[in-house]
Amino acid sequence: MTETKNSKEYQICKQCIMDTSDPDIVFDANGSCNHCTNSIIRLNKEIFIDPIIKKHNLDKLINNIKQDGVNNKYDCLIGLSGGVDSSYLAYVAVKQFGLRPLAVHLDNGWNSELAVENIKNIVNSLNIDLYTHVLNWEEFKALQKAFLRASVIDIEMLTDHAIGVALYEVSKKYNIKYFLSGYNYQSESVMPAKWLYPYKMDSLNIKDIYKKEGDGGLKLKTFKLLNFYQYLTFGKNSMALIPILNYLDYNKKEALKIIETQLNWRNYGNKHDESIFTKFYQDVILPQKFKIDKRRAHYSSLICSGQMTRDEGLEEMQKELLSQQDYKNNLSYFLKKLNISEGEFQTIMDTKPRLHWDYRSFAKRKFKIGKLYRAIFK
Ligand SMILES: [Zn+2]
């Protein structure tokens, strides 16, 4: 296969809808990109396998979870954001597999009212316990503002880091060995590496960004950060992370129908609109400042798994992310909540993006140690 690195000219994949908004995209001689090519290989290897083998693997897994948790109040943890994937996951865990999950939710201050209501309905319909970890708003606000000023791409890293820590602590407290994650390859296989910072538990990165870009007025007293040893050993030997939806024939449209009818779940309209921050981040900050429209990766994933056609994906991309009125409303809510002036917001949006790597990081330290180790012992 002859591969050509993209030039600056615009190009869109002929198989999915990824394009040169990913600076690292590579197209083959037929015009297919690295994302869908790799996704389809992995889907065929891991997802679209013999249904008998798939069922066997799933049964074995569920049995292990049940057996290991037989003496515990809960046999697994699930994260509950109120979005489609996690809501459906809660449904199958209880109704299909007969598991006894403890649902964990992180309240970072940005839940939409509908998300709160959806979570309440899910928990009531399934009769499961909910543990809500509430972040200290003043600290979280100061952290988000520091990340905005730093102009790094992954502001959601703060939420992901906090969820990671909360899950880990709850698993210890209740001696729960399995975390059923809503991550699924069917709708999330395409994601360019540069569209996020993959080292979500990199506490040093968060600490350094806060130190350099925060306003210095508030000490982080409750937002838990890991030390280097905890970073290296995070999640090891404690809790197994199971992307359970990958074991099922997960179909987003069907999942949506089930949670609507069975859990009184109501639709937000778009992916991730359960969080007002995530919505603003994906509809305004990413496209306007970083020139990234995450829908492109999401629809490409669905195209790869056969849940959307390429034409449907292209048509969806024509739709406005936000109407002018929605933009105005969301912007004023966002500025008021974070206590940012319009002027400062404009400066943030105009500042050239910087890399997470420009700040201190545990990930960088780990690579350096690994390199040194290999140089000595090779
Ligand atoms: Zn492609």
Q: Note the pLDDT tens digit of each residue in 287-321.
A: 999 999 999 999 999 999 999 999 999 999 999 99
pLDDT at 252: 85
Cα 313 to ligand 1 centroid, rounded to whole Å? 12
pLDDT at 6: 45
In percent, how much of the chain has pLDDT > 90? 83
Cα 220 to ligand 1 centroid, rounded to whole Å? 43
Residue with tokens 């994937």: 85
Q: Residues lining ligand 1 (ion), CB within 5 A?
A: 13, 15-16, 18, 33, 36
**Is residue 107 a contact partner of residue 134, using CB atoms and an 8 Å limit?**
yes
Cα 35 to ligand 1 centroid, rounded to whole Å? 5
Q: What is the mean pLDDT of residues 191-220?
A: 95
Cα 246 to ligand 1 centroid, rounded to whole Å? 21
Cα 42 to ligand 1 centroid, rounded to whole Å? 14
Residue 1: pLDDT over 50: no
The sign one gets for the Cα dihedral 213, 215, 219, 222 is: negative
**Is residue 356 a contact partner of residue 147, using CB atoms and an 8 Å limit?**
no
Cα 32 to ligand 1 centroid, rounded to whole Å? 5
Q: Highest-confidence range of 29-38, 112-121, 247-256, 365-374, by mean pLDDT?
A: 29-38
**Is residue 264 a contact partner of residue 123, using CB atoms and an 8 Å limit?**
no
Residues 53-77: pLDDT tens digits?
Answer: 999 999 999 999 999 999 999 999 9
Half-sphere exposure of 150 (CA within 13 A, CB side): 27
Query: Is CATH 3.40.50.620 the classification given to domain 49-357?
Result: yes
Residue 215: pLDDT over 90: no
Domain boundaries, the chain: 4-11+15-42, 49-357
Burial class (CB in 10 A: 0-12, 13-18, 19+), 252: buried
Three-state SS at 222: coil
**Torsion of the alpha carbons at 323, 324, 326 and 330, rounded to the nearest 10:** 130
Burial class (CB in 10 A: 0-12, 13-18, 19+), 6: middle
pLDDT at 87: 95
Write the CB contacts of 327 (distance below 8 Å, at least 6 apart in sequence): 283, 284
Cα 300 to ligand 1 centroid, rounded to whole Å? 7
Please state, rounded to an integer, the average pLDDT across all residues of the chain: 93
Cβ atoms within 10 Å of 327's Cβ, excluding its own: 15
Residue 270 binned pLDDT confidence (cut-offs 50, 70, 90) = low
Residue 7 binned pLDDT confidence (cut-offs 50, 70, 90) = low
pLDDT at 2: 43
pLDDT at 155: 98
Q: What is the mean pLDDT of residues 107-124?
A: 95
Q: What is the mean pLDDT of residues 90-107?
A: 97
**Is residue 83 a contact partner of residue 108, using CB atoms and an 8 Å limit?**
no
pLDDT at 355: 97
Residue 372 binned pLDDT confidence (cut-offs 50, 70, 90) = confident
Q: What is the mean pLDDT of residues 236-246?
A: 86
Residue with tokens 């990199």: 202
Residue 8: pLDDT over 80: no
Cα 293 to ligand 1 centroid, rounded to whole Å? 15
Residue 127: pLDDT over 90: yes
For residues 183 and 124, the model is more confident at 124
Cα 37 to ligand 1 centroid, rounded to whole Å? 6
Lowest mean pLDDT among 79-83, 101-105, 308-312: 79-83
Cα 325 to ligand 1 centroid, rounded to whole Å? 34
Amino acid type, 332: S
pLDDT at 274: 84
Residue 3 binned pLDDT confidence (cut-offs 50, 70, 90) = very low
Contacts 24+ apart (CB under 8 A), 345-351: 348/148, 348/149, 348/151, 348/289, 349/285, 349/288, 349/289, 351/149, 351/151
Write the CB contacts of 361 (distance below 8 Å, at least 6 apart in sequence): 199, 202, 204, 205, 208
**Is residue 306 a contact partner of residue 15, using CB atoms and an 8 Å limit?**
no
pLDDT at 376: 86
Residue 65 is encoded by which pair of tokens? 């979870």
Residues 132-182: pLDDT tens digits?
Answer: 999 999 999 999 999 999 999 999 999 999 999 999 999 999 999 999 998
